[in-house]
Amino acid sequence: MSASYFISQLVNGLRLGSVYAIVAVGYSIVYGILRLINFAHGDIMTIGVYVMLMLMTTIGMPLWAVVIVSVVVSVFAGVLIERLAYRPLRSANEEATLISSLAVSTLLQNLLQMIFSPQKRAFHLPEFFSVRHDIFGIQLSTMNIMTFVAVAVIVIALTFVVQKTKIGTAMRACSENLDAARLMGINPNKVIVFAFAVGSGLAALAGLMLAGEYKTIDPLMGFVPGLKAFCAAVVGGIGSLYGAVLGGLVIGVAEMLFAGLMPTSVTAYRDAFVFVVLILVLLVRPNGLLGQSEGGRS
Amino acid sequence: MKNVKRLLALVLALAMVLTLCACGPKEDKGNDKQEENNTTGDTIKVGAMFNITGGQASLDEPSYRGFKLYFDEVNKAGGINGRQIEVVSYDGKTDQTVCANNTSKLIDVDKVVAISGLSDSNYAFAAGNVAQQSGVPFVFSGATTPTLNDIGDQVFLTAFGDDICAYAAADYLTEELNITKVYMLVDQSMDFTTTLARCFQERLEKNGGEVVLTDNYMNKDPDFSAQIDRYLADNKGAEAIFLSSVPDDVGVITKQFRDRGVTDLMISGDGADTPLLYEVAGEAATGFLVSTHCSFENEDPAVQDFVKLYTETQGTAPENAFAALGYDAAHIIATAIEMCGDDVTPANVRDNLEAIQNLRLVTGTVSYSAGNHIPQKSATIITVADDGSFKFVKEIG
């Protein structure tokens, strides 16, 4: 095994991990505030991708406009789901909202299958995105580079929002203690809507990165990556922004190195390996890599 | 109070999930009136069990259209022995449980005399076992795993076994192209793909060739970057790539390999010849080879008549060989029903299916014998042309 081979698989892992990271951030900020695992998150990603496909194939809009519209639609979808399926259950216990989110996920998957048929559809981005560049001997496609840049930008932007802005301060307050934040005059609904909006918009971007890489999309495409991104959020320490990013990269790299370096007879089982990693990390650090122990919130 | 609310939320959530089950595509019931027994009615009921939606749809949908087309023509011409044929169809939804349940429904509720359908062996095993237990013959339209024969005396194959398909691919590589070193990428989650890969390797080694590297993946994982990098790093001198994949994946894999600059010859087994291949991979699919059931460019009048009929009635040329297989499966069942005379029962149809000898079909000639319900047919190598259509290359066997 040569070093360049190892590096190429590492790059694959970082690329996949970046996508997981972006999705995991959405899981994490929603969980941080609501203690809700939003299983419909992966399906919002699928909605975003289908919106892109429709806009590109039927109207022929330029890509930048397609991305903006799709992010906006996904944000609305996310906020709408929060309003219809989660907010009415706000006073119920956490399990009820969890089940509600599972139901929303199934609903969205079936809805997409009814509207677009369960068939896989080709998803073509301009050739420009698949062109490969040689950077210090590492082969990277334009899409890869954009993915890495996007993750960096998103992390920096979110750090700024969370640390420096009023809504970010309100988010931190809500995730510390929702009731106390409310007593301090913060409107939790505003904060929650903001969290869902950010998470859903990011999910649509992640969908673009996945679909651009795989060239096909189908109505169930968001589910497994969503599940792995959830693992990533847990591995990193759910509720923590940097934890979600770190978890995403760890899961992505672990998956790809397993697929690339292990004997080919076992590489087909890489999904199972991801969950083994999850269990191992939780055995050593029950709150995830960057999670804080908090003993549950009442 | 809180408990009541909690319970209510749970019930509502469950109700929501359950109502979804009813949201699926409407089943094509054919005809709602239920006749007590087929042997006495004016019409004879035949079951069609195809995966009209889901991952198998690109194969099963054309198959179903071909199947229905044959009986439409039969009915137009006055039916079989003066009786009309009613095709009762349910969607298997590319789900083994649904396939098995709907097969039971065809047998118990609709009381069909024979059933046909299914292009993939995973679903064929699920449905075939149900038919075997109930004593109703099931003619698989496109499934090819040789071990399907072991289900019992009620199941019949329209297509050749995977061994013939894989042997043809191996023979073509070694004998026509003088290629001996081959890389295999195998979907480990399906009976069809693992059998195809095993048979291909067997034959290649017998012909003096060698599988230099095998890599694996699981169906539904669209990320092949790890496998491609492994191939690029050291393909051990492979001159061709054999894909043992279900149709959904072939286009994705081809596109991803070609985008990374892999130019080696690529070949796959039957089922890869769907429009999805060119739709997904585009120009990257050009030159892709498929070992399959027939080529619609074949000059044989049986083939040309079918192409003409299908094009006229369906508004499109046959999508792939599976359209012809569906048509042929209907032909096989119709032949057996005709041989029954007036006494059309599942048991009689089964006996007459087994008695079929040298029946000339679109996809070749079929003979069955007691104990062997897999026809010995030839395989055809086809390739993707520049415009995305499939061109005839060679008939093997």
Yes or no, beta carbons of A268 and B55 under 8 Å apart: no
pTM for the full model? 0.83
B129 with B88: CB under 8 angstroms? no
Question: What region does A117 belong to: left with phi over 0, alpha with psi -120 to 50, or beta?
Answer: left
What DSSP string describes B26-73?
PP--S-----S-TTTSSEEEEEEEE--SSTTHHHHHHHHHHHHHHHHH
Mean pLDDT of all residues in B169-191? 94
Find out whether A210 and A221 touch, Cβ atoms under 8 Å: yes
Who's near B29: CB < 8 A, 6+ residues apart?
A: B88, B89
Mean pLDDT of B91-105: 94
Specify the pLDDT at position B27.
44
What is the DSSP secondary-structure string of B235-301?
A: -TT--EEEEE--HHHHHHHHHHHHHTT--SEEEE-TT--SHHHHHHHGGGGTT-EEEES--TT---H
Note the pLDDT of residue B186: 95
Whether residue B9 has pLDDT greater than 90: no
Among chain A residues, CA nearest to B224? A214
Taking a C-beta distance cutoff of 8 angstroms, is the pair B154, B350 a contact? yes
The one-letter amino acid code at A48 reads: G
DSSP one-letter string for A234-258:
HHH-TT-HHHHHHHHHHHHHHHHHH
The Cα B173–Cα A52 span in angstroms is 41
* Cα dist from B109 to A92, B33, B37, B47, B121, whole Å: 45, 11, 10, 11, 25
3-class state of residue A17 by DSSP: helix
Which 3-state string (H, E, C) describes A53-69?
A: HHHHHHHCCCHHHHHHH
**Cross-strand bridge partners of residue A50:** none
**Nearest chain A Cα to B226, which residue?**
A260
| Each residue's pLDDT tens digit, B216-258 | 998 878 889 999 999 999 999 999 999 999 888 899 999 999 9
Q: Averaged over B271-284, what is the pLDDT?
A: 88
CB-neighbour burial class of residue B4 (10 A; exposed 0-12, middle 13-18, buried 19+)? exposed
- Ordered by start, the domain boundaries in chain A are 17-222
Q: Tell me which of A119-123, B15-19, B163-167, B300-304 is least confident.
A: B15-19
What pLDDT band is residue B41 in, cutting at 50, 70 and 90? low
Give the whole-angstrom CA distance, residue B184 versus residue B213.
6
Q: Do A271 and B6 touch (CB under 8 A)?
A: no
pLDDT at A294: 57
Res B17: pLDDT: 54
Angle between helices A94-116 and A41-54 (to 10 degrees): 20
Q: Which of A111, A122, A214 sits opposite B223 (nearest CB)?
A: A214
> For residue B282, which phi and psi values (nearest 5 degrees)?
60, -135
pLDDT at A239 (0 to 100): 84
A110 closest CB neighbour out of B10, B20, B229:
B20
Kindly report, residue by residue over B303-362, the tens digit of the pLDDT.
999 999 999 999 999 988 999 999 999 999 999 999 999 999 999 999 999 999 999 999
Which residues does residue B183 pair with via DSSP β-bridges, in sequence order? B213, B241
Query: For position A178, what pLDDT does the model report?
Result: 87
B204 within 8 A of B212, measured Cβ to Cβ: no
* Contact indicator for B293, B302 with CB cutoff of 8 Å: no
**Segments of chain A with pLDDT less than 50:** 295-298
Q: Are B167 and B142 in contact (CB under 8 A)?
A: no
Q: What's residue B14's pLDDT?
A: 58
pLDDT in tens, A115-162: 987 778 888 888 888 888 888 778 888 988 999 999 999 999 999 999
Give yes or no for residue B12 having a pLDDT over 60: no
User: Does B230 contact A132 at a Cβ distance shorter than 8 Å?
Assistant: no
CB burial class (10 A; 0-12, 13-18, 19+) of residue A84? exposed
Which of A130, A221, A224 faces B259 most closely, judged by CB atoms?
Answer: A130
Q: Which residues neighbour A67 within 8 Å (Cβ) at sequence distance 6 or greater?
A: A52, A204, A205, A208
Report the candidate in B264, B225, B3, B285 with the shortest Cα–Cα distance to residue A209.
B225
Q: How many CB pairs under 8 A join A and B?
A: 122
pLDDT at B81 over 60: yes
Tokens of B100: 């098995």
- Go through the domains of chain B in sequence order and give each one's CATH number: 43-160+300-366 (3.40.50.2300), 163-292+381-396 (3.40.50.2300)
pLDDT of the residue at B33: 40
- Best to test chain A binding among B7, B10, B16 (most A CBs inside 10 Å): B16
A224, A41 contact by CB (below 8 A): no
For position A141, what pLDDT does the model report?
Answer: 87
Q: pLDDT tens digits for A250-259?
A: 999 999 999 9
User: B186: exposed, middle or buried (C-beta count within 10 Å: 0-12, 13-18, 19+)?
Assistant: buried
Express the helix, strand and coil content of chain B in percent, nearest 5 each.
Answer: 45, 20, 35
Residue closest to A159 by CA, chosen among A226, A238, A240: A240
Out of B20, B215, B233, the one facing A5 most closely (by C-beta) is B233
Helical (H) or strand (E) element with B223: none
Task: Give the Cβ contact number of residue B234 at 10 Å.
Answer: 13
What is the per-residue pLDDT across A268-297, written as a single tens digit (0 to 9) for each?
Answer: 888 899 999 999 999 999 888 887 765 444
